[in-house]
Structure 1
């Protein structure tokens, strides 16, 4: 297959995260608005160009008070920093269908290198549209404090309300 431009099919993709809450459970959420382009042969990402943007205000944890707090200056400060972004800088093939994709991840005004472990899930032709689609899944962990997301509160039993580690999971379908 040759290198081509692919767009993220947001109707068939998810950007999810989870974080420990009160040291006893995980709270999960999604970002509902995002876009991305990849110029690549999906069966060999080693020389791909990958750009991804997330609308920070589209955060959804199924609790409006929490979502509004996450949009505030305590966390994402969406009025001043409306987007999160990722641009790949290095892609290493780790097995037939897996890659370590490292790139510049920007939250608020902080950019740090982050590596996603990505699996190529395959290519198929959509029977409805006739479009060629490619699927990928990916995971990473970040320390939210590295990106200026430092708000927290102590618990009277010890520990904190929100852990520093955030797990990010992607399910991405691309359309040529």
Structure 2
């Protein structure tokens, strides 16, 4: 099958993250507003064109004060860098339904190559006859390489915010008309 254009069903998709807090727990969050351009054969993603654009101001950790701090110049600086982007540059199949997707991730104007493990969750038709497919992805990034270095030292040792950010993506797409 040739590459087909797919639209993200945002009601059935999520872009989530977690980070260590005070060296003892994890804080989780999500980005509510994102879009993607996906041109792919869901049976073989190795030739896919994948791009994500994330509205960084849509960050939500269920704490308004923390979310506003994340939007500030201490972290994402959404006034200067309102978007985070990812563009796949290489996709390798690692098993029947699993892939390593490498691409350019840009946060706060800084671009680095990152790899995400992606699983094709299957495809079919929804109750209205539309062709749909689902994908899950996971990866880890170091926030410091994107200039996200804000932190505070704890009296007991360690820091308030961990360096490693775990990213989890759940995407449902519908074949474009």
Q: TM-score range by the shorter chain?
A: over 0.9
Q: TM-score, normalised by structure 2?
A: 0.97
The CA RMSD over aligned residues, in Å, is 0.6
Deviations 1:7-42 (A, max 9, x none): 111110000000000001000000000000111101
The runs of 4+ residues in structure 1 deviating greater than 6 Å are: none
1:164 deviates by 0.3
1:2 deviates by 2.8
**Are the counterparts in 1 of residues 116 and 138 from structure 2 also a CA contact under 8 Å?**
yes
Q: 1: distance between equivalents of 2:3 and 2:149?
A: 41
Could you tell me which residue of structure 2 aligns to residue 110 of structure 1? 110
**Are the counterparts in 1 of residues 35 and 53 from structure 2 also a CA contact under 8 Å?**
yes
Q: 2: distance between equivalents of 1:110 and 1:2?
A: 33
Q: 2: distance between equivalents of 1:116 and 1:43?
A: 18
Tell me, yes or no, if structure 1 residue 163 matches structure 2 residue 174. no
The secondary structure found in structure 2 opposite 1:152 is coil
**Are the counterparts in 1 of residues 3 and 47 from structure 2 also a CA contact under 8 Å?**
no
Structure 1 segment 84-95 matched on structure 2, within 5 A: 84-95=84-95
1:130 deviates by 2.0
Tell me, yes or no, if structure 1 residue 38 matches structure 2 residue 38. yes
Q: 2: distance between equivalents of 1:43 and 1:78?
A: 37
Unaligned residue ranges in structure 2 (runs of 5+): none
Tell me, yes or no, if structure 1 residue 17 matches structure 2 residue 12. no
**Are the counterparts in 1 of residues 75 and 148 from structure 2 also a CA contact under 8 Å?**
yes
Q: 2: distance between equivalents of 1:83 and 1:7?
A: 19
Work out the number of aligned pairs and report it: 175
Unaligned residue ranges in structure 1 (runs of 5+): none
